[in-house]
């Protein structure tokens, strides 16, 4: 369970990450802050490319940074966009690889949380490690 301070700090961190986005094509800057169960926070910003399919979303940047640092258990993620847009399907699937229980705080640029859900609520019927009868 997140405290109010943790929620505020996570959203603020995502707002900071949003300022680092590289989105010259869409002009849709996204920031993410991922809280691990160890208490560390990993930031991510979307990075676009002229060859659009190779662009990377902020949420996945944060997850991949955490994973490369040895983290595998996530408690929450805050995502900030100008209008409170939700994570895309690919980002939902990447989060589901590690946890269905993590809280997802979706906020607008002003830092107002417009929606709160778990990964499971955002991706019902998720395909994951249990489909292979393995636990990574």
Active site includes 59? Answer: yes
Q: Which residues pair with 107 in a beta bridge?
A: 80, 113
The secondary structure of residue 60, as a DSSP letter, is: H
What does the alpha-carbon distance between residue 42 and residue 67 come to, in Å, rounded to a whole number? 10
Catalytic residue (one of 59, 71, 97, 109): 59
Catalytic residues: 59
């Amino acid at each position: 369970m997140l405290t109010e301070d943790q929620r505020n700090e996570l959203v603020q961190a995502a707002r900071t990450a949003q300022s680092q986005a590289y989105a010259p094509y869409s002009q849709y800057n996204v920031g993410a802050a991922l809280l691990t169960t160890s208490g560390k926070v990993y930031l991510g910003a979307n990075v676009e490319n002229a060859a659009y399919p190779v662009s990377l979303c902020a949420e996945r940047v944060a997850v991949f940074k955490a994973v490369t640092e040895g983290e595998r258990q996530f408690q929450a993620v805050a995502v900030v966009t100008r209008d409170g847009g939700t994570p895309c399907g690919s980002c939902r699937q990447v989060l589901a690889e590690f946890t269905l229980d993590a809280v997802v705080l979706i906020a607008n640029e002003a830092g107002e949380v417009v929606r709160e859900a778990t990964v499971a609520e955002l991706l019902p019927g998720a395909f994951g490690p249990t489909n292979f009868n393995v636990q990574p």
